[in-house]
Structure 1
Amino acid sequence: MPGLLRGVARTAVVAGTATAVSNRVSRRQQGRWAAQQQYQEPAPRSASYAEAPTPPPAPDMSGKIEQLKQLGELKEQGILTEAEFEEQKRRLLQG
C-alpha cells in the first residue's frame, strides 16, 4: 500500500508541476502577443484576392526547456524514476 500511495503522490506532483508550468507559459505568451498587437499597425487590405490564413505560431521552446529542467530536478530528488523521467520527457518533446 505505501508503494501505491507513493506512486499516486509522484503522479500528482508531476501533473501539478506540468500544469503550473503550462499555465505560466500560456499567460506569458498571451502577454507577449497582446504587446505585439499594440505596436503593430493594420496592413491595408486588397480586395482583389482572399487573405491567406495565418499559420499557427511556433511552439515556445523556452517553456519546454523550463519543463525539462523541472523534470530533471524531480528525478534528482528521487521523486521520479529513470523510466518515469524518460516517459515524461518523451511526452513533453512530442506534444
Structure 2
Amino acid sequence: MIGMPGLLRGIARTAVIAGTATAVSNRVSRRQAGRWSRQAEEEEMRQQYEQPQQPQPAPQPQYAQPQYAPPPAPAPDPMAAKIEQLQKLGELKEQGVLTDAEFDAQKSRILNQ
C-alpha cells in the first residue's frame, strides 16, 4: 500500500502534468486562431486588390408577387393506408412477433374500418 506521502506525490505529479498539458493546448489553440485570422485578413486584402471596384448598376425596382394559397393537399387514399397497414402486419407475422390468431384479428380490424 502506498503511504500518504507517496499518494500526495502522485496526485501532485498528475496535477503538474495536467496543468502543463492544458497550458500547451491553450497556447497551440491561440497560435492557430491567430494564424487563421491572419490568413483570412490576407485573403480579404488580396481579393480587394485583385478585383477592381466597379460601380454597381442601380437595382431594378422589385414588385411584390401576388400571393396565392397553396393547392389543397390530395385527400389520402383510405385503401392505400389499409394496404400499408396490412403489409406492416404481414412483416410482423413473418418476424414471429404476431401469432396467426393475432394476425387474423388485426387484419379483420383493419379491413372493417
TM-score (norm 2): 0.39
TM-score (norm 1): 0.45
Q: Larger Rg: 1 or 2?
A: 2
Asked which structure has the greater RCO (Cα within 8 Å, sep 6+), the reply is 1
